A and B are shown apart, each in its own frame.
Chain A
Amino acid sequence: MTGDDILLQARLWWWQRTSAMALAFCVLVHLGVIIYAVHAGLSAASLLGRTRGNVVFGAFYTLFVLACAIHAPIGLMNVAREWLGWRPRPVGWLAAAFALAIVVLGLRAVYGVVVA
């Protein structure tokens, strides 16, 4: 294994660990939000009424999306390398594409409920 690869692996581990900490927090809050919303029996219109223009809500879910976009592709990359035996380069590209998909889809959803 090359030196660059060692450095990359160690950094990816750091990013995955750090994003996991953010996710642990985000998932708990997210579950709380879901339970609260369902309990209150809110309609789509009243939900949007609360989320539109809500900066805290927008910032929180942006953080959530970014943490997912970092965390999940690194994990999938490890799975593909270890279980499927794929080469590091194509796996890297695939993980980058997956990260981009999460960012685009996730931020689009945040935009949809907060701004649009």
Chain B
Amino acid sequence: MQSLLTARIWRGGSDGAFVTYEVPRQDSQTVLDVVTWVQRALDPTLAYRYACRVGMCGSCAMTVNGRARWTCRTHVERVAPHGILDIAPLANLPVIKDLTTDMADFFDKWTKAEGRFQGAATRRQDFARVAPDSRQRRAVDAAIECIGCGVCYASCDVVNWRPDFLGPAALNRAWTLVNDVRDIALRQRLRAVAGDAGCHSCHTQGSCTERCPKNLAPTSAIAGLKRVTAQAAMRRKL
């Protein structure tokens, strides 16, 4: 007989509750597979998001047994050895319905952190040459692979207690641009990421770095921003 998994899935809005479903266990089953099976076999009204299923798009993050995770790359076997899975929407974001959250705040903060590249070159100019082993290029490489899944944001205690905090992902993005030698908006960006709602609020607890599915280190990106903003401030260039 096939074994069963007990999946308690959050239903409703922020005032919703967990509903229990019995789901057949399968080899190499991911948490996303479980959610998809429930929607297709048991209740088509279950709302959740996914797109690529291979860890590229960043849309399937949920809270799995109390921890924010990307569900498409999270194997049931690894997170639910006793066959019980609690699946809830990401924390620190308003719940729309079931497992879907409103990510608007999360992405608006990327804009607030000046997360947009601003160059000075035109299409008639040659490519900028950036040495791959330069200090700045290496700093960008270490932080650039963010897929915008929101796991860090949902795991951040500072976001939880001060909702205006820009959060790890937006600050990590700003750090890649601070190190982009082609970008011309450094001062403006440093002003956007400094202060109470920005990098200075980070307590270096490291939950973002601990839980980032891409193994990025927003904590060190934020530390870098603190360093660079302080240097700019001491030179009266902030």
- Interchain CB contact under 8 A, A1 and B200: no
Q: How many A-B residue pairs have CB under 8 A?
A: 39
Closest to A16 in B: B230
Interface residues on chain B, size class: 10 to 19
- Interchain CB contact under 8 A, B234 and A6: no
- Interchain CB contact under 8 A, B200 and A10: yes
- Interchain CB contact under 8 A, B196 and A10: no
- How far in angstroms is the closest Cβ of chain A from B203? 9
Cα A3 to Cα B188 in complex, Å, equals: 11
A13: chain B residues within 8 A (beta carbon): 200, 226, 229-230
- Total interface residues in chain A, CB < 8 Å: 13
Cα A81 to Cα B232 in complex, Å, equals: 24
B162-186 vs A, CB cutoff 8 Å, 1 = contact: the mask equals: 1000000000000000000000000
B194: chain A residues within 8 A (beta carbon): 6, 9-10
Q: Does B195 contact A (CB under 8 A)?
A: yes
Contacts A6-B195, A10-B200, A11-B230 supplied; 4 other A-B pairs, CB < 8 Å: A7-B238, A9-B194, A13-B200, A14-B233
Chain B residues engaging chain A, CB cutoff 8 angstroms: 162, 191, 194-197, 200-201, 226, 229-234, 238
A-B contact pairs, 24 of them (CB 8 A): A1-B195, A1-B196, A5-B196, A6-B238, A7-B233, A9-B194, A9-B195, A9-B196, A9-B200, A10-B194, A10-B195, A10-B200, A10-B232, A10-B238, A11-B233, A11-B234, A13-B200, A13-B229, A14-B230, A14-B231, A14-B234, A17-B230, A81-B196, A82-B201
